[in-house]
Amino acid sequence: MRWNRTIWDEMLRMQEEIDRMMEGFFGEPGLDEKRAPAIGYSGESGAPALANFAKPLTDIVEDEKSIKASIDLPGVDRKDIEINVTDNNVEVKVEKKAEKKQEDKKKGVYRMERRYAGFYRCFGLPEYADTSKMQAEYKNGVLELDIPKKPEAARKARKIAVK
């Protein structure tokens, strides 16, 4: 069987490769300077300290009354979840505090693949999202955000007179 590769297949492959490289370099593709200060900086270079933050899986669904986001945050205590709303962005940050344990010196660590400081996710909202009435509930490892929409009258376009 022969597979005919198109230019679009190659462009998609290149985009995925660039995303992987950017994620490896910055920790999260598309990170801009406005979001980075909330995360913190590491070292003298001033680079965002995202390398130890995992990007949680997120579903965002909109219906006629609200916008709902479901964010997977397994193994997190409710008290460690920090939600910030700036302009029309929602930022969810969880910092896991590492517990120091005294263990038998004969035991050794051969491989650590789950080393991270927590979770970080930031996403934009439309102008008609009413963040002042936003509610959050954390249950069974999933953070549910419910963001109501502003009434239709508040969303209508207004004409501005030019002087």
Query: Residue 106 to residues 98, 102, 103, 114: CA-CA distances in angstroms?
Result: 21, 12, 8, 22
pLDDT of residue 2: 54
pTM over 0.75? The answer is: no
More confident of the two residues 51 and 157:
157
More confident residue, 153 or 64: 64
DSSP-assigned letters across all residues of 82-119:
EEEEETTEEEEEEEPPPPP----TT----------SEE
* 52-99+116-152 CATH choice from 2.60.40.790, 2.40.37.20, 3.20.20.140, 3.90.700.10: 2.60.40.790
Q: Which of 89, 159, 150 is nearest to 121 (CA)?
A: 89
Question: Would you call 35 helix, strand, or coil by DSSP?
Answer: coil
List, for residues 18-68, the tens digit of each pLDDT value: 877 777 665 544 444 444 444 444 444 444 455 567 889 999 999 989 999
What residue segments make up the domains of the chain, in order of their start? 7-51, 52-99+116-152
**Strand pairing of 53-54 and 118-124?**
parallel
**Ordered alpha helix ranges (H), the chain:** 7-26, 36-39, 152-155
Phi and psi based region of residue 142 (left: phi greater than 0; alpha: psi -120 to 50; beta: remaining): beta
Q: What percent of the chain has pLDDT over 90?
A: 31
**Among 40, 47, 57, 41, which residue's Cα sits nearest to residue 123?**
57
